[in-house]
């Protein structure tokens, strides 16, 4: 079972990807993890990617796909995988499809975790991070025992810059601009599945399992 996770920043797609991976015993694959592993192991692909990353440039789609296809060759991918954070654009999706097709394979499901922007802004702007140990909380869903103080180490909590409402809104705008074409792309291939991400985390997962099968 080969699955792609779609969803705006803060929609909870990463959490659901991990749950899917655990239930179906398939790896949860993120491009960031692949980059780090290849650079750490000093592979040829890793060295090529590092040249771009060191200059602060995007790694070309062809190289990203090559890294991902290399990851698919590992034994834990024999029953499938959950891709999280890739593809992000139509050219990436097309390059991935082409590479899979050469192996006689294809993506089975593209799962879009739908959460309205206003919900995401509320979720993310309510998050607080500890300046000491890095623990994260939420003022509504996971508050500390003492307001503004970390339960773990007692240090102060802050609202990180990337969780500020204006920054979150900007990230969402960029996401919609780049990702809506992907939604249309996978809809046209009849593999897009939309789930309501505003529901309880376990209910969202249950709805995904109903689609994927027990």
Calculate helix-pair angle for 165-188, 90-101, nearest 10 degrees.
Answer: 40
Among the options 48, 50, 164, 171, which is catalytic? 171
DSSP for 42-62, written as a single string? T-HHHHHHHHHHHTTPPPPHH
User: Residue 205 in contact with residue 13, Cβ under 8 Å?
Assistant: no
Closest Cα to residue 202, out of 22, 16, 21, 18?
16
Query: Of 2, 19, 123, 127, which one is the catalytic site residue?
Result: 127
* 127 in active site: yes
**Catalytic pick among 2, 13, 71, 128:** 13
The values of phi and psi at residue 26, to 5°, are -125, 155
Map residue 24 onto helix, strand or coil: helix
How far apart CA 80 and CA 28 sit, in angstroms, is 10
160 among known catalytic residues: yes
71 catalytic, yes or no? no
- DSSP-assigned states of every residue in 184-205: HHHHHTT-EEEEETTS-HHHHH
The one catalytic residue among 36, 98, 160, 199: 160
Torsion, Cα 14 20 25 28, to 10 degrees, reads -20
Of 48, 88, 122, 164, the catalytic one is: 88
Residue whose structure tokens are 């050469």: 102
Is 88 catalytic? The answer is yes
| Residue 59: Cβ within 10 Å count | 18
- Give me the active site residues, please: 13, 88, 127, 160, 171
């Amino acid at each position: 079972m080969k699955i792609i996770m779609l969803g705006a920043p803060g929609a909870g797609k990463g959490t659901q990807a991990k749950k899917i991976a655990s239930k179906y015993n398939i790896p949860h694959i993120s491009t960031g993890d692949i980059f780090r592993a290849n650079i750490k192991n000093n592979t040829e692909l890793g060295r090529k990617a590092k040249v771009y990353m060191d200059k602060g440039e995007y790694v070309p789609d062809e190289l990203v796909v090559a890294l991902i296809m290399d990851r698919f060759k590992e034994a834990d991918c024999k029953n499938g995988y959950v891709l999280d954070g890739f593809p992000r654009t139509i050219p990436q999706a097309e390059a991935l499809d082409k590479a899979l097709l050469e192996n006689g394979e294809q993506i089975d499901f593209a799962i879009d975790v739908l959460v309205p922007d206003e919900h995401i802004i509320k979720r993310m702007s309510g998050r607080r991070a500890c300046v000491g140990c890095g623990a994260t909380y939420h003022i509504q869903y996971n508050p500390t025992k003492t307001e503004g103080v970390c339960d773990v180490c007692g240090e102060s909590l802050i609202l990180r810059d990337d969780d500020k409402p204006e920054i979150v809104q900007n990230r969402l705008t960029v996401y919609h601009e780049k990702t809506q074409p992907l939604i249309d792309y996978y809809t046209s291939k009849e593999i897009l599945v939309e789930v309501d991400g505003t529901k309880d985390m376990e209910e969202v997962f249950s709805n995904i399992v109903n689609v994927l099968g027990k």
